[in-house]
Amino acid sequence: METPAKIELQHVHFAYEDHEVLHDINLRIPPNQIFVLFGPAGSGKSTLLRLLNRLTDFSPEETHLQGKVLLDGQDIFAPDVDVTRLRQRAGMVFAKPVPLPLSIRDNITYGLTLGGRRDRSTLDETVERSLHAAALWDEVKDRLDDPGMALSGGQQQRLCLARTLALQPEVVLLDEPTSGLDPISTLQVEEALFQLRESVTFIVVPHSVQQAARVADRAAFLLMGELVEEGPADVLFTRPKDKRTEDYVTGRFG
């Protein structure tokens, strides 16, 4: 029997105003592994990712969604869904790290204190646990009260990862999380994902095919809003079934 999907998309069509950018997407993402969503720019990867925790609600344009997006079998666009809770269960890390204008410590505890947590020792534990998980603890443990924005780009991105992990999310969505980082910082972020994939479902939009192949357990290839192919990483990156996938991963276009 198939394990139940963590996230499932059923016949999803998504449009900004009358411009449809996702066409009839069907996808099952199993829990607790790194799922990579790759494809050329403009294919709708960011849109799909933002759909999964409803950040698309923020789009300044009118948007139209058809089909269903399920988290643990529950429709996340159902009217009775608590969007705040959804965004805590499915956290997001953006391409450009955006530390809040707060200290390192307060950046990490921000989400928790929104929910009314005040207890100092819990918060301190969370700070330490999250920073360890994001492989940043050793670098910042002596300056937790410094502004988050004083960190380097690579550190900022791991801070943002730590901020997301502090909420103990079940799903973490990462949109080209290392696109602005140097190779060493990139490896540190990837390493952090590997450490956590037993307990978290990661959905990653990589910034290159090489990174896709490096981190993916499973992957899906998205092209102009169409889901071309989905499967285990070793199959997708070595023996893809679709000619377009093969052309893309071998670098013939993209």
Partner 1 sequence: MHLTPRATQRIVFGALTAAMVLVIIPLIFVIGYIVVQGAGAISWEFLSGMPRNGMREGGILPAIVGTLFLTLGTAIFSVPIGIGGGIYLAEYAADTPLTRAIRLSIINLAGVPSVVYGLFGLGLFVLFLQFGTSILAGSLTLGILTLPVIISTSEEAIRSVPQSFRVVNAAVGGTKWQGIRRIVLPQALPGIITGVILGLERAAGETAPILFTVAAFFLPRLPHSIFDQTMALPYHLFVISTQVPSMPVQIQYGTALVLIVFVLSMNLTATLIRRHYRRRRQW
Ligand X SMILES: Nc1ncnc2c1ncn2[C@@H]1O[C@H](COP(=O)(O)OP(=O)(O)O)[C@@H](O)[C@H]1O
- Smallest gap, in angstroms, from Cβ of residue 60 to partner 1? 10
What character string, x for contact with partner 1 (CB under 8 A) and - otherwise, covers 177-216? Answer: ----------------------------------------
Other beta carbons within 10 Å of 43: 23
Residue 44 found at the interface with ligand X (CB under 6 A): yes
Can residue 92 be called a binding residue for partner 1 (CB under 8 A)? Answer: yes
Asked whether position 55 contacts partner 1 by CB under 8 A, the answer is: yes
Q: Dihedral of CA 38/40/44/49: which sign?
A: positive
Q: How far is the CB of 59 from partner 1 (least distance, A)?
A: 11
Q: Does residue number 61 form part of the binding site for ligand X (CB under 6 A)?
A: yes
SS (H, E, C) 188-235: HHHHHHHHHCCCCEEEEECCCHHHHHHHCCEEEEEECCEEEEEEEHHH
Q: Are 102 and 148 in contact (CB under 8 A)?
A: yes
The three-class DSSP label of residue 250 is coil
How far from 40 is each of 43, 55, 188, 226, CA to CA, in Å?
6, 22, 25, 11
Identify residues 105-124 at the interface with partner 1 (CB under 8 A).
Answer: 110-111, 114-115
- Report if residue 46 touches Mg ion, rule: CB under 5 A: yes
Q: What binding mask, one character per residue, do residues 134-173 give for partner 1 by CB under 8 A, x or -? A: -------------x-xx------------xx--x------
135: its two tokens: 């492989």
Q: Is 56 in the site for Mg ion (CB under 5 A)?
A: no
Chain positions contacting ligand X, by CB under 6 A: 16, 21, 41-47, 59, 61
